[in-house]
């Protein structure tokens, strides 16, 4: 009995040891797996956090770089634009200067050209000292103006009280100078109108007054008459140059006019047809004797749409020329037809 009990107890002890060993092995393996999974999760979380942080940093850096680049580009563009505007105004004036010159002294009114100036908005101009020694308030305007033998538009009107002086500027509008191909101002011709500032009655009008700049000796008269010759008759020459477009005014057909008569003339568009349809159009200009004019006839977009015209192809036009002083008709052309080529 004792031996059998001992064997039984021994078997139980061995079984118990085997069971404990098995349990111990079983518990160790899951613990190891859990630790590895936790480590993997921690690593993945850290990697994800790092990636998100890196992405955010990259995005912030990209945004900062983009903003900086945009600011630099904008600044550069603005600076370039300012430089271009300044260069264009300066290029029009070029190296032209003038000596102080008395333009006229009449009826107790004296006007002296003192210097050339330039404005980014209005373009180049001539500074004038106006002295009104008369007993009435006056209004001084420019009746006509040419630069390098081309008619140009001006921006000028000066009111001067009796017994007073005033510094004023006759601006030579940049757009008309550019159209006339003027890059350096060499020869200026002006006609002044002096009137009573209350009644606007003309007191007197000057003869054409020439003002030569420092560039006059290098000046050569240039005729911008390239294009389709429409008329060369009785001292009047007309050339169709090109089709232009303005967002505000619409289409514009640009012409070259040359007045080789001994009279100042006015030119008007009597009638105009586009692609066979009569169109409301406008052209009016003054051409002094021996001078030239670059001017366009304006055609509104609405007129073209009303007639279903999408593209200007054929033009038929009639011009009328009259004496600027007497208003007598000098020449009315026949219908001048031409085709607009792309």
- At 209, which CATH number? 2.60.40
Residues 6+ apart with CB under 8 A from 319: 231, 238, 267, 268, 269, 270, 283, 332, 333, 336
Domain boundary among the residues 218, 243, 276 is at 218
Is there a single domain that holds both residue 232 and residue 205?
A: no
Residue 37 lies in a domain: yes
Residue 223 lies in a domain: no
Q: Are 156 and 129 in contact (CB under 8 A)?
A: no
pLDDT beyond 60 at 342: yes
- At 277, which CATH number? 2.60.40.2550
Is there a single domain that holds both residue 137 and residue 206?
A: yes
Residue 265 parent element (H or E): strand 265-274
Separation of alpha carbons 128 and 216, rounded Å: 20
Is there a single domain that holds both residue 233 and residue 331?
A: yes
Residue 71 lies in a domain: yes
Residue 96 lies in a domain: no
pLDDT at 296: 94
What would the mean pLDDT of 185-189 be, rounded to a whole number?
96
Is there a single domain that holds both residue 109 and residue 200?
A: yes
pLDDT at 95: 77
pLDDT beyond 60 at 51: no
What would the mean pLDDT of 264-270 be, rounded to a whole number?
96
Higher-confidence residue of 219 and 150: namely 150
pLDDT at 93: 54
Q: What is the pTM of this model?
A: 0.72
Is there a single domain that holds both residue 111 and residue 31?
A: no
**Phi/psi of residue 263, nearest 5 degrees:** -125, 150
Residue 34 lies in a domain: yes
> How would you class 297 by CB atoms within 10 Å of its CB: exposed for 0-12, middle for 13-18, buried for 19 or more?
buried
> Which tokens sit at 268?
């008007």
Query: Mean pLDDT over all residues of the chain?
Result: 81
What is the percent of the chain where pLDDT is above 90?
64
Is there a single domain that holds both residue 80 and residue 123?
A: no
Domain boundary among the residues 195, 218, 241 is at 218
Q: What is the domain count for the chain?
A: 3
Q: Are 149 and 288 in contact (CB under 8 A)?
A: no
> Which tokens sit at 177?
């100078």
Residue 321 parent element (H or E): strand 314-323
Higher-confidence residue of 32 and 121: namely 121
> How would you class 69 by CB atoms within 10 Å of its CB: exposed for 0-12, middle for 13-18, buried for 19 or more?
exposed
| Count of other CB atoms within 10 angstroms of residue 223 | 13
Rg of the Cα atoms in the chain? 43
The domain in which residue 208 lies consists of 101-218
Is there a single domain that holds both residue 112 and residue 209?
A: yes
Predicted confidence band at 18 (pLDDT cuts at 50, 70, 90)? very low
Is there a single domain that holds both residue 184 and residue 128?
A: yes
pLDDT digits (tens, 9 = 90+) for 142-152: 999 999 999 99
N-to-C CA span, the chain: 128
Predicted confidence band at 188 (pLDDT cuts at 50, 70, 90)? very high
| 220-225-228 Cα angle (round to 5) | 165
Domain boundary among the residues 171, 188, 218 is at 218
Q: Are 252 and 245 in contact (CB under 8 A)?
A: yes
Residue 121 lies in a domain: yes
138-147 and 123-132 strand pairing: unpaired
> Which tokens sit at 131?
């002295």
Separation of alpha carbons 24 and 19, rounded Å: 8
Q: Are 292 and 150 in contact (CB under 8 A)?
A: yes
Choice among 18-27, 111-120, 228-237, 282-291 with the minimum mean pLDDT: 18-27
Residue 174 lies in a domain: yes
pLDDT at 295: 95
Is there a single domain that holds both residue 235 and residue 313?
A: yes
pLDDT beyond 50 at 293: yes
């Amino acid at each position: 009995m004792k031996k059998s009990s001992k064997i039984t107890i021994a078997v139980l002890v061995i079984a118990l040891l085997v069971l404990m060993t098995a349990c111990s092995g079983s518990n160790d393996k899951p613990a190891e797996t859990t630790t590895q999974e936790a480590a993997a999760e921690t690593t993945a979380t850290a990697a994800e956090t790092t990636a998100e942080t890196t992405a955010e940093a990259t995005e912030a850096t990209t945004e900062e770089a983009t903003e900086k680049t945009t600011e630099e580009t904008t600044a550069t563009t603005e600076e370039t634009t300012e430089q271009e505007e300044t260069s264009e105004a300066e290029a029009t004036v070029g190296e032209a200067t003038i000596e102080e010159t008395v333009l006229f002294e009449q009826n107790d009114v004296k006007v002296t050209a003192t210097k050339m100036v330039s404005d980014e908005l209005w373009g180049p101009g001539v500074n004038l000292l106006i002295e009104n020694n008369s007993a009435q308030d006056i209004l001084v305007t420019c009746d006509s103006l040419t630069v390098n033998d081309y008619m140009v538009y001006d921006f000028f009107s000066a009111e001067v009280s009796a017994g007073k002086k005033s510094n004023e500027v006759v601006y030579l509008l940049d757009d008309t100078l550019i159209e006339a191909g003027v890059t350096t101002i060499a020869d200026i011709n002006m006609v002044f109108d002096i009137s009573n500032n209350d009644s606007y009655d003309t007191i007197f009008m000057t003869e054409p007054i020439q003002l030569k700049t420092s560039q006059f000796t290098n000046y050569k008269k240039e005729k911008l008459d390239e294009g389709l010759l429409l008329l060369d008759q009785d001292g009047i020459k007309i050339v169709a140059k090109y089709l232009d477009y303005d967002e505000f005014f619409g289409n514009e057909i640009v012409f070259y006019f040359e007045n080789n008569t001994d009279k100042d003339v006015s030119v008007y568009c009597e009638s105009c047809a586009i692609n066979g349809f009569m169109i409301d159009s406008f052209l009016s200009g003054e051409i002094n004797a021996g001078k030239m004019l670059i001017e366009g006839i304006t055609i509104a977009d609405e007129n073209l749409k009303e007639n279903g015209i999408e593209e200007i192809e054929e033009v038929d036009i009639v011009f009328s020329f009259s004496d600027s002083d007497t208003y007598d008709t000098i020449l009315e052309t026949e219908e001048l037809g031409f085709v607009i080529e792309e």
